[in-house]
Amino acid sequence: MAFSFLSSLLFVFAILLHSTSLVTEARSSVPPTPISHLVSEELFDSIFLHKDDSACPAKNFYTYESFITASKRFPGFGSSGSLSTRKREIAAFLAQISHETTGGWATAPDGPYAWGLCFKEEVSPQSDYCDSSNKEWPCYPGKTYKGRGPIQLSWNYNYGPAGKALGFDGLRNPDVVSNNSLIAFKTALWFWMTEQKPKPSCHNVMIGKYVPTQADIAANRTAGYGLVTNIINGGLECGIPNDSRVNDRIGYFKRYATLFNVDTGSNLDCAYQNSF
């Protein structure tokens, strides 16, 4: 009799536990992934405190679901090396895209590093970013290849191969990067994960797989977050001591590394690196 009662009690407990699990799963529209285990929706929201403010042109564009779904296209992202290495790479990626899309300023609410993902298009572009000498990825008439999306993808020689890799026509339809949240995040991750010689991939730098060439050594291109900045925008920002743009990228990285409870590593700037 006692055994029967205990069995019934355990059965009821199992049903309740299963029901609770179903409710928990129903609350989230994002299936669990390796990245979502490291970046919960709550953490994502605490990182990007103001991305959906009315002051931000990208309000409601950069969603957590799009970020997690896009990461599935690049299974190596945030899944290589130790737990600290994985967290550091994700923090570095989020820091770089935050700088590229920042709406922060020195005295902004919650500080200047709480305003990432505020913009989805470059403000006041200085050109159409068409390199007419590039015959492999020719510009389409009337199209501009200004910065769009989290990484602010720029130039026809980036839009073309990104589109080919991800399944959209980057040369004829570059605007999709600022009109489709999922594609926007995919382009940022594509740029992060893809080696474009002589540049290594940002991914390989952050997980410790960067092997400098003789040219890299001569140019003082040392592994670290600063080298990632060099890959992204070294021609304008590197080789300049105390550059405010580089410092902004570092500020974001330091904040996010703290939130991920991981150290930043060394060589955070590219002040004494030659660009690629």
pLDDT tens-digit profile of 97-129?
A: 999 999 999 999 999 999 999 999 999 999 999
Q: What is the pLDDT of residue 30?
A: 59
Q: Between 270 and 9, where is the model more confident?
A: 270
- Residue 14, pLDDT > 70, answer no
Q: What is the chain's mean pLDDT, rounded? A: 91
Q: What is the pLDDT of residues 233-271, one digit of tens each?
A: 999 999 999 999 999 999 999 999 999 999 999 999 999
Q: Which whole number is the average pLDDT over 26-41?
A: 75
- Residue 2, pLDDT > 90, answer no
- pLDDT-derived band at 9 (thresholds 50, 70, 90) equals very low
Q: What is the pLDDT of residue 70?
A: 98
Query: Percent of the chain scored above 70 by pLDDT?
Result: 88
The yes or no reply on domain 120-180 and CATH 3.30.20.10 is yes
Task: State how far the Cα of 178 lies from the Cα of 153, in Å rounded to an integer.
Answer: 10
- pLDDT-derived band at 33 (thresholds 50, 70, 90) equals confident
Q: What is the pLDDT of residues 59-81, one digit of tens each?
A: 999 999 999 999 999 999 999 99
Query: Could you tell me how far CA 210 lies from the centroid of its own chain?
Result: 19
Task: State how far the Cα of 276 lies from the Cα of 270, in Å rounded to an integer.
Answer: 12
Helix or strand holding residue 50 (H, E): none
Q: Where are the CATH 3.30.20.10 domain residues in the chain?
A: 120-180
- pLDDT-derived band at 11 (thresholds 50, 70, 90) equals very low
Question: Other CB atoms closer than 10 Å to residue 231's CB: what's the count?
Answer: 24
Q: Where are the CATH 1.10.530.10 domain residues in the chain?
A: 26-119+195-276
- pLDDT-derived band at 16 (thresholds 50, 70, 90) equals very low
**How many angstroms separate the Cα of 249 from the Cα of each of 186, 205, 231, 233, 266?**
21, 16, 13, 11, 14
- pLDDT-derived band at 34 (thresholds 50, 70, 90) equals confident
Q: What is the CATH number of domain 26-119+195-276?
A: 1.10.530.10
- Residue 189, pLDDT > 90, answer yes
Q: Which whole number is the average pLDDT over 180-196?
A: 98
- pTM metric for this prediction: 0.89
- pLDDT-derived band at 20 (thresholds 50, 70, 90) equals very low
Alpha helices in the chain (DSSP H): 2-27, 34-38, 41-47, 64-71, 83-100, 156-166, 181-193, 202-206, 214-218, 225-237, 244-259
Q: What is the pLDDT of residue 10?
A: 41
Q: What is the pLDDT of residues 221-243, one digit of tens each?
A: 999 999 999 999 999 999 999 99
Question: Which residues are identified as catalytic?
Answer: 100
From its phi and psi, is residue 149 left (phi > 0), alpha (psi between -120 and 50) or beta?
A: left
Q: What is the pLDDT of residue 123?
A: 95
